[in-house]
Each structure stands twice: as C-alpha cells, then as structure tokens.
Amino acid sequence: MPATMHYNNAPITDADQSLPLRDHIKEVIATYYKNMVAQGTKPENVYELVMAEVELPLIEATMEYTGGNQSRAAKILGINRGTFRKKLAHYGML
C-alpha cells in the first residue's frame, strides 16, 4: 500500500477557486516532491499513490453532489454503473 500524500489544508481563497483542477493537483504534487526532498526520501510509485489517494474522495464528493444517486454519479464520472458499484463495494459504500 502506497504512502499517503500530505499537503497544506489552508483555506481556499477566491484566487485559488479560479485555478483549473490540474493546477491545484500540480501544486500538491510539487509540494509532495519538496517534502520528500526535505525528508531525504526518494519518491517511488507516485502514479499508483496519486490514483489511490484521488479515487475515494472523488467518489465521495460525487456521491454527495448527486445526493447518493449512483446512476448520476457514474454518469458524471464517465464510468458505467456496474463498474461504479464495484468501486462503491470496494470502499464499503454500498
């Protein structure tokens, strides 16, 4: 199991809200790398780490956004409902 990515949970400002999602992610990844260097650790398996860290909060936020509607959530995420239900089961959300 990959390590957890940690970053600053500072309040979001109006300027932050105008940034595209990719820019937020880039900032978090850059901070992660800086922290790794500061700790004298070499990053490994970062792709797997990011995917593992992002999937659950993405599903949780989407389910909240849809009021728990699995079909709508699956459509928003661009995956079929069967695959989405497997992910919900995997995370104990059924």
- Alpha-carbon distance of 33 to 28, in angstroms, equals 9
* Pairs from 80-87 (Cβ < 8 Å, separation ≥ 24): 84/59, 87/55, 87/59
Residue ranges of domains in the chain: 14-90
pTM of the predicted model, to two decimals? Answer: 0.67
Q: What is the mean pLDDT of residues 61-81?
A: 98
Question: Residue 90 — very low, low, confident or very high, per pLDDT cuts 50/70/90?
Answer: very high
CATH of domain 14-90: 1.10.10.60
Is the pLDDT at 44 greater than 80? The verdict is: yes
Residues 6+ apart with CB under 8 A from 93: 59, 60, 63
